[in-house]
Amino acid sequence: MRELVEAIVCALVDDPDVAEVTEIQGHHTHVIVVDVAKEDRGKIVGRRGATADAIRTILKAASGRDGKRYILEIIED
């Protein structure tokens, strides 16, 4: 799943070399953390969170066969 999110994020941002996608694995829940350049954060979140919600929907659909839950976290500092 990390590779899937990484491919989506790199396609959306202007500077894909700075984009970092990591996965924290638990027993049933995995957290995918996305960290991008400050200028690209708006492209990942989208208007009213539409892009982030779309990525979460893709994760939910793709994780059905794994039986695991994936959570998308976008770093905003």
Helix 50-62 to helix 2-12 angle (10° resolution) is: 150
**Per-domain residue ranges of the chain:** 2-74
Whether the pLDDT of residue 65 is over 90: the answer is no
Q: Is 30:71 a contact under the CB 8 Å cutoff?
A: yes
Query: pLDDT of 13-33, one tens digit each?
Result: 999 999 999 999 998 899 999
Q: Are residues 34 and 5 in contact, defined by beta-carbon separation less than 8 angstroms?
A: yes
Q: Could you tell me which CATH number the domain at 2-74 has?
A: 3.30.300.20
Dump pLDDT digits (tens) for 41-64: 999 999 999 999 999 999 999 888
Whole-number Å distance between alpha carbons of 70 and 43: 21
